[in-house]
Chain A
Amino acid sequence: MKMLWRSAATTAFALGVAAIFGPASPATAETPQYGDELRLVVGSKIPSYDAHIESTFGMIHPIRPFYSVLMRVNPDNPSSPTDFVCDVCEGDVPKPTDGGTKYTFKIRKDVKFHDGTPLTAHDVKATFDKIAFPPEGIASNRQAYFKTVESISAPDDYTVVFKLKNPTGTFLPSVAMPYNFLYAKKDLDAHGYTWHQKNINGSGAFRFVEHVPGSHVKGVKYENYHHKGMPYLNGFTAISAPKMSVRLQAIRGGQADIEFRGFPPKARDDLVKALGDAITVQESDWNCVLIVTPNHKVKPMDDVRVRKALSLAIDREGGSKYLSRIAIVKTVGGVVFPGHPLAATEAELSQLAGYGKDVEANRAEAKRLLKEAGHENLKITLHNRGVDQPYKVVGTWLIDQWKKIGVQADQWVQPTTPFYATLRKQKDFTISLDFNCQSIVNPIADISKFLPGAGNNYAEFQDEQLLKWYDELLAEGDEAKQRAIIRKYEKRVLDELASQFITLWWYKINPHRSYVKGWKIAPSHYLNQALDNIWIDQAEKKRQLGG
């Protein structure tokens, strides 16, 4: 209940901030205006246009508006981690039948690809076949999310049936992921499974105009878009700007309207100070978390007492209070995104190592454990990524926290490429910061990060108990029972084994020009990026930027 209260409080805070800083909050009902163009700045590069193989927001932000998906987060309520609506499917999101193992989607009859081809159930089937069952030699980055899918069929032109091996809570959130762009079957048949890496033929709100690598992507309004009356914009330009300072100054200097990934608190404050009511700020918990990953194969991280002591030393509440003033982290949580019904409540969290309210008692226990393990004068090197927000800030904070239990730590900061090589390939680190950033909040899939042997778990340990519980979780359709299993799993990871431990969840801050209307913040920078509900208050824009 407290968790739900926290989620509501976060939303309320977001709206409050917006009300204070902006003349019209995103929640205010206003009549959308047609016309004008949106200029968004994007801090990452486009590797290819094929969302089925990519994972960067550098591709999602400029390319998602060209595509439709089967279902998506509710664009009017994107802060909810459980509110999904149909995009090209018809009516409400379907309820499972056959004991939770069958989902039948009815497809709208008015959806057309930009080349004029009608979108049918066969296109949806071909798309999800490519994602879930790619042929040999064809990459699919999210194939693992659809392991429970037994078959996909299209009994007629406007019906798609997903048959699952067992009931699971991961299916619908997986289908709603923004990466599941719908491709035309005829394109896949005629051009092959790699054609979409360099070509675009979607059915989204905007038609592709041009992409100048390293510079921008341009789209224009698609007049036959299936959500009638939308989009409101005539078009958009996504401008590539890798440096955060450039993106920030571009909004300030009138060269861009919005940035969807997020800025640190100081940048928000600077923008608000410079532009006053010309800026609207939206804030939200962020489905990204920084995780401390000890390498269990390296001494002394093979000793659970040492790992647990390092977690006990961290004052998470204090960190949340102070770090949130300078970094994009804020929320204290367990393994599940804090706003989700499956997440631990405050009371449940307080039972875990390092989450107790009495910080001094936690640290006394940490010292005792270190002494017992024979590591009273422990010296460690924290491996970290050479990115300020939030890695280096949190890394520096952790070193200070560990100093308080007598551990001497320093940081080994590497640029992104060698950082990944060390963490994922060479594995020659003692303890490292790692992260887990996801799009849709899909707790059952997301917590596989903590599973021994998972492709993205670099802690190098084995535990049969965790694997067993996770298998039980995957096969469990009842939410209350899922919750109970997750609590056991969480306690095992964060407390009994201290195999990895959570620092703080990220916090998303989106200051944008106040004439940008209709867009609502989501708990991920991958979500709510169709741009179909965004409109420009043109009089206000003229007032702010001039003729």
Chain B
Amino acid sequence: MYGYIVKRLLMLLPTLIGAAILVFLLLRLVPGDICLIKFGGEGAYADPEQIRQCQVNLGLENPIYVQFWDYMKGFFVLDLGTSMWTGKDVTYEIGVRFELSLQVAIMATLTSIVIAIPLGVISAAKQNTMVDYVVRGFSIAGIAMPSFWLGILMILGLLIGTQEFMGRPWMPPISFKSIFDDPAHNISQLIWPALATGYRYSAVATRMTRSAMLEVLGEDYIRTARAKGLIEKVIVNKHALKNAMLPVVTIIGIEFAFLMGGLVVTEQVFNLNGLGKLFVESVTQSDYTLTQALVMLVVTIFVFMNFVVDVLYAWLDPRIRYS
């Protein structure tokens, strides 16, 4: 098992270096100049000399190979630089948003697991019954509905519902407070995006659990277990579920990584100060250093989650670690 883990870890490095090079080159192809936006963004007079000075200060007048060399040097010593827009450390800018994004990702993943695994198992165990039809309808609706749209519906529903029943409209808080500082404020803000994204996420996982369970329940060893007279609950929970979890773990791992940086629209709907919103802002402002750092963060999370999934695979299915 240790050899397997070391081998997987060594494979991470070339992946990250390749992504870093690609990110740098692709960003330079995008048109836009952060100094133009900073100085003339509101249509105000933009003094060309000030714009040139800004470009010099930000190193944008350096040849591309010099910029690339500076970037790669920083990459290897884990110095992500400063945001071109705010002048603050990129690690600080990301750090401020990381807690919120991580909490939403965890809450949405928990929501998804709590919903998906029982429903998927029940749906498979009761195949082609009314229960199965209801679960399938529920999961198809979740896949069909974008989470940001569900988020908009939730906010409008809360506004209209509270006005109707409580006499004054209410919507979730729009500024973040840490769960350690103000748990009630924190939960009342984040529960809604966690539900909106967790529902879509659970829909995918429910369908995956169901199909994996159906496949496993048709295996010879399950028939043998039934022939031995084991009760159905033991067969499903002890013998079938663990084997059916392989594809479900993959889905959960990928979705978790996606939630860390990919909730671009949902974060805007709920005004969450997360990594997705920061991503959009950095791209629209042509803030190269911040965009590069964020892309690398998301790539690292994806690569790490893949690693975790691989290790879980090996734990769930010993054949993988022995092969």
Chain A residues with a Cβ under 8 A of chain B? 41, 45-48, 53-57, 137, 139-144, 197-198, 212-216, 237, 239-243, 245-246, 249-250, 252-256, 274-275, 288, 415-418, 420-422, 424-426, 434-438, 448-449, 454-456, 544-546
Contacts and interface: CB of A to CB of B under 8 A. Distances in A.
Contacts of A274: 159, 163, 169
B175 interface: yes
Nearest to B270: A246
A240 B174 CA distance: 9
Contacts of A242: 268, 277, 281
Given A214-B273, A216-B175, A246-B268, A252 B33 contact: no
Interface stretch (B41-49, B72-80, B235-243, B295-303): B41-49
A288 B38 CA distance: 18
Interface in B209-224: none
B59 interface: no
B304 interface: no
Interface residues of B, number: 55
A214 B40 contact: no
A417 B33 CA distance: 7
Contacts of A256: 174
Interface stretch (B2-10, B86-94, B199-207, B312-320): B86-94
B285 A417 contact: yes
Contacts of B173: 255
Contacts of B171: 249-250, 252-255
Given A420-B37, A420-B40, A241 B174 contact: yes
A41 B88 CA distance: 23
25 contacts: A46-B86, A48-B86, A48-B87, A55-B40, A140-B50, A141-B45, A142-B45, A144-B47, A213-B96, A214-B96, A240-B273, A242-B268, A243-B271, A253-B162, A253-B169, A255-B171, A255-B173, A416-B284, A417-B30, A417-B32, A418-B31, A418-B32, A422-B31, A436-B43, A437-B42
Given A246-B174, A416-B284, A57 B42 contact: yes
B170 A254 contact: yes
B175 A215 contact: yes
A253 B158 contact: yes
Contacts of A415: 284
Contacts of B281: 45, 214, 242
B62 to A, nearest CB: 16
A427 to B, nearest CB: 12
Contacts of B54: 139
Contact of B46 (A245, A422, A424, A546): A424
Nearest to A46: B86
B306 to A, nearest CB: 29
Which 10 A-B residue pairs are closest in the complex by CB-CB distance? A253-B171, A417-B32, A435-B43, A421-B31, A214-B273, A55-B44, A437-B43, A215-B273, A246-B271, A418-B31
Among A254, A256, A417, residue most surrounded by chain B Cβ atoms (within 10 Å):
A417
Contact of B168 (A254, A422, A436, A456): A254
Contacts of A438: 44
A298 B273 CA distance: 44
A139 to B, nearest CB: 5
B176 interface: yes
B61 to A, nearest CB: 13
Contacts of B50: 53, 139-141, 143
Contacts of A143: 47, 50
Contact of A214 (B53, B97, B286): B97
Given A215-B96, A417-B284, A252 B38 contact: no
A417 B242 CA distance: 50
B23 interface: no
Contact of B44 (A41, A216, A437): A437
Interface string B150-164: 000001001100110
Among B46, B93, B163, B173, residue most surrounded by chain A Cβ atoms (within 10 Å):
B46
Given A55-B42, A243-B271, 18 more contacts: A47-B38, A47-B85, A53-B50, A55-B41, A137-B57, A140-B50, A141-B39, A144-B45, A144-B47, A213-B96, A214-B281, A241-B174, A246-B174, A253-B155, A256-B174, A424-B36, A449-B45, A544-B168
A215 B173 CA distance: 12
Given A214-B281, A420-B36, A252 B174 contact: no
Nearest to B34: A417
Nearest to A435: B43
Nearest to A417: B32
Contacts of B53: 137, 139
B271 A253 contact: no
B44 A243 contact: no
Interface string B16-42: 000000000000001111001111111
A40 to B, nearest CB: 12
B251 interface: no
B284 to A, nearest CB: 6
Given A141-B47, A255-B174, A455-B48, A424 B86 contact: no
Contacts of B31: 417-418, 421-422, 426
A370 B256 CA distance: 60
A269 B197 CA distance: 31
A41 B39 CA distance: 23
Among A137, A141, A274, A415, residue most surrounded by chain B Cβ atoms (within 10 Å):
A141
Among B42, B86, B278, residue most surrounded by chain A Cβ atoms (within 10 Å):
B42
A56 B41 contact: yes
Nearest to B167: A546
A523 to B, nearest CB: 15
Contacts of A48: 86-87
B38 A198 contact: no
A45 B85 CA distance: 9
Contacts of A237: 175
Contact of A239 (B48, B174, B277): B174
B277 A214 contact: yes
A239 B153 CA distance: 23
Nearest to A60: B42
